[in-house]
Amino acid sequence: MRNLLIHADTSPAMAARTESALAIGRRLGAHLAFLICSPFRQFIASDPFGGIYLAREALAEAQLADAELETALAAQLSREDVPWDIAIAEGDTLASLSLAATLTDLAIVSLGPRDRRGLAQPTLAGDLAMTVPVPVLALPAEGKPLDLDEAVMILWNGSPQAAHALRAATPLIGGARSVVMVQVGPDEGKIPAGDALCYLSRHGIHGEFRRLDRGALTPEEILERSAKELAPGLIVMGAYGRPRLRETLFGGVTRYLLESAPAPLLLVH
């Protein structure tokens, strides 16, 4: 992982994104590319008679805010020991990040702030994971930066998505104090957990495998219990192993973790 893409904005979650990117950059010798997204279409308005006009004052204010963010971020990064650059995109956030991610190794975003029920708004992280062919590191909005030395929890079900996620995580988890691969219930895919552990061992990562019985609990409840026990600093998972519409309507592990992640998520579809 030598090229990191980081969504840059003025939200409180930006600090964790920046610190996480710096930690990865130092550990792996990566270049940090920060992208400020300023959707142009939000400044196009219409009147009751069907006319369309540009909200010039609002656009000018947004452009000034973007310039101020770029200046402040550049001042902060100039004191760091990793290579970086900052760009401003005048398109939709998801589209801009998706385009920029075509030549990157990892995209870093935040989960949305939590609502009154305590659930995060996962739209950007979930959509980006479905859109780009690179891993997405999604940080809880109120959480701490990624700690590369903490325990890692890998969610395994034998699917290609799980295998892609495991492979993508390998550069990040070499220094973890422990790596635990968790599977809920019987095998669902064609890739044995033993093969996955063998793959990790050839990278010098010796993981532990735990198969958890479902019983009367849902997979989400079992994983929540396991996460509380392990207290991982990173959860690795294949995103939307089932059709996304089905997960949206009926729930699923991906949706659950995007809404209630107890730790940073590494998502790969």
Q: State the CATH number of the domain containing residue 8.
A: 3.40.50.620
**Residues of the chain above pLDDT 70, percent:** 83
Residue 118, pLDDT score: 47
Specify if 145 maps to a domain: no
Within 10 Å of residue 213's Cβ, how many Cβ atoms?
Answer: 9
Least confident of 94-103, 112-121, 154-163: 112-121
Q: Say what the pLDDT of residue 62 is.
A: 74
Query: Domain end: 88, 117, 139, which one?
Result: 139
| The pLDDT value given to residue 40 | 64
Q: Are residues 174 and 66 in the same domain?
A: no
pLDDT for position 239 = 79
What are the angstrom distances between the C-alpha of 63 and each of 40, 88, 90, 109, 224? 10, 10, 10, 22, 42
Structure tokens of 176?
A: 């973890």
Token couple for 58 = 């609002």
Question: Is the model's pLDDT at 116 over the cut of 80?
Answer: no
> Where is pLDDT greater, at 216 or 46?
216
**Does residue 122 fall inside a structural domain?**
yes
Greater pLDDT, 226 or 43: 226
Confidence tier at 70 by pLDDT (50, 70, 90): very high
Residue pLDDT, tens place only, 20-69: 999 999 999 999 999 999 866 555 555 565 555 555 666 677 778 889 99
pLDDT band of residue 241 (cuts 50, 70, 90) is low
Quick one: pLDDT band at residue 119, thresholds 50, 70, 90?
very low
Give the number of domains in the chain: 2
pLDDT at residue 201 is higher than 50: yes
Tell me if 212 is assigned to some domain: yes
- Same domain? For 11 and 126 the reply is yes
Q: Give the model's pLDDT for residue 112.
A: 77
**Are 138 and 264 spatial neighbours (Cβ–Cβ below 8 Å)?**
yes
Are 161 and 96 within one domain? no
Query: In the chain, which ranges are continuous DSSP H helix?
Result: 14-28, 56-77, 93-100, 123-131, 160-169, 193-201, 219-230, 244-250, 253-260
Residues 71-104 have pLDDT tens digits of 999 999 999 999 999 999 988 889 999 999 999 9
Nearest to 125 by CA among 117, 116, 135: 135
**Same domain, residue pair 123 and 13:** yes
- CA–CA gap between residue 19 and residue 240 (Å, rounded): 28
Global model pTM greater than 0.75: yes
Structural domain range at position 163: 152-268
Q: What is the pLDDT of residue 214?
A: 75
